[in-house]
Structures are given as C-alpha cells and as structure tokens.
Structure 1
Amino acid sequence: MPLKIYLSGEIHTDWRERIIAGAEGLDVSFDSPVTDHAASDDCGVAILGAESDKFWHDHKGAKLNAIRTRRGIEAADVVVVRFGEKYKQWNAAFDAGYAAALGKSLIVLHGADHQHALKEVDAAALAVAETPEQVVQILTYVLTGALPG
C-alpha cells in the first residue's frame, strides 16, 4: 500500500512537480488542493450561484475547497505544507495546524527568511525542509532507509 502524501500550500511555483518527479519509483501517491487559482477562488459561485458581496463569494469557495482539503489531509500519511516567498499563505498555516491536530506526520517546506514567522508551525512539524529535493530525500529515507548520496 503506497504512502499517501498530501501536498498543501502555495500554488505559484513548481515545488509539487519537483517532489512528484523526484519521488518516481517510490511507493507513494500524491493528493493536493485544486491548484488552478481561478477555479479555486470561483468554485463556490460557479456551482452554487453568484454572490454580489465578495465576502460571500469567497465564503462559498472556501467551504467547497475545505471538503477536498479535509478529505486529503485526513486520508494522508504525510502532509507537506509549502510556504512560498511572495504571498502570505494563511490557508497553508491552517492546513498545517489541522494536520498537526490530527497527529499527521507533518513536513513543512519554506526558506530561511520564514523561520521566525513560522516558528510555531515548525515546532509542530517532524521535519522542516528548505527545498523540494530535501522532501524527496526525507520520503526516500522513510520508505527505504537509504541516505542521499
């Protein structure tokens, strides 16, 4: 049975693709939120009807996205949460907290410039990586016991 990995967080870089490509050959499966920004933002109104108030527009979308996110995190063995450089990812912080509350194995991925801001999130994680390649090395080690090299 493959190790189920949920890839949460920023959607503006290729970090997911790098992890998936690097993990080729490992007994893993991946899931993630919808990474099409427009689809994610507009799913609620596209399915449930238009809203004139932006708050309710976003509220509908957030609730529909939460169905997918909760399912993915709950089904995962490992949750990887990426915090990017450009945007504040409040949803990523929420996903990390949810995964930690469920007792999921949590890997946090961010650059050194986020160390102070994410110190509480990092403290809940079992590993804090700076690159997608380090995440792949963690997964390889967990599944095979092999060190990089």
Structure 2
Amino acid sequence: MHWTVYLSGEIHSDWRQQIIDGAAALNLPVSFHSANTDHEASDAAGDFLAPQSEGFWRDHKSAKVNGIRTRKLIKDCDIAVIRFGEKYKQWNAAFDAGICAALDKPYITLHDEKIIHPLKEVNAEAMAWATTPQQVIDILKYTTS
C-alpha cells in the first residue's frame, strides 16, 4: 500500500529532506507533499490579485491562495507530519493540525521538548510526538509495512 505524507510547518531547517531521504533509503512506499516552502514566494502568493496592497490585505490574499494548495494536500494525505521549530511561532502549522483533527486525518507532531506546554492541545490530538526526523522515519517504516 502506498501512503501520501503531508509535511507541514517550520521551513528554516532541512527536516523535510531528512525524512524524504530516510524514507527513500528504506524504499518506503510513500510520497511526500508540502506547502510552498519558499518564504518569499509564499508571502507573495496573492500579489497578482488587484489591487496591490500591503500589510493585512496582502497577507490575507496570499493566505487564501496558499490555502488552496494546503487544503487539497491535507485532504488527500494519509498522514501528516507537523513540525514546530523553536525560533518562530508556526501558527500556520497549528492551523494545519486543526484541519487534520477536523478531517480525522492522523498526524505526527515533530518538536523539541522545550515547547511541549504551548503545544499540549495540538499534541493531544496527534497520533505520535517525535523529537527527531529519524523517529518520524521509524513511524513511517512501521505503519507502512
């Protein structure tokens, strides 16, 4: 059985590539998708919609355009991995976790122990909490075999 995995969250490290490479090394029957991880392109996703604007309305338009992709990929995934980093607040990742919960999509959270408390509700709905990409690979290996 082939699984589709949605990778959500923090975009400032190589955690996605570690999981993709680890799964490939084990020939796991998975394919991966994610939101646009190019921060500037994501912020500008709605810029082609007239009229041009800054601040709230620019973010609003871009969030809606980005949401087209995000909602489709989450609806179509078998499982999501949602990464929370320490440096930035990933409100979008928390929102993705909420969408997964609402759609009854299983998800794994990936984050350090230092942010357990602020993520307690997000973790309460997760099927697993991992602290390393390798743990996610191990979960994927187990669940897809």
TM-score by length of 2: 0.96
Please tell me the residue identity of whatever aligns with 1:66. Answer: G
Q: Which residue of 1 aligns with 2:37?
A: 35
- Distance (whole Å) between structure 1 residues aligned to residue 51 and residue 35 of structure 2: 22
Name which structure has the greater RCO, CA cutoff 8 Å, separation 6+: 2
Partner SS state of residue 6, structure 1? strand
CA RMSD of aligned residues (A): 0.9
- Distance (whole Å) between structure 2 residues aligned to residue 131 and residue 32 of structure 1: 18
Q: Which residue of 1 aligns with 2:120?
A: 119
- Within-5 A mapping of 1:59-70: 59-70=60-71
Shift of 1:50: 4.9
Check conservation: 1:50, 1:57, Cα contact below 8 A: no
Shift of 1:99: 0.4
Please tell me the residue identity of whatever aligns with 1:75. Answer: D
- Distance (whole Å) between structure 1 residues aligned to residue 16 and residue 86 of structure 2: 15
Structure 1 segments of 4 or more deviating over 6 A?
none
Between the two proteins, what is the percent identity of the paired residues?
Answer: 58
Shift of 1:43: 1.2
Q: Once the two structures are superposed, what CA deviation does each residue of 1:26-73 show, in whole Å capped at 9, x if it has no partner?
A: 00011000000000000101x213523311111110000000000010
- Distance (whole Å) between structure 2 residues aligned to residue 43 and residue 82 of structure 1: 22
Unpaired runs of 5+ residues, structure 2, are: none
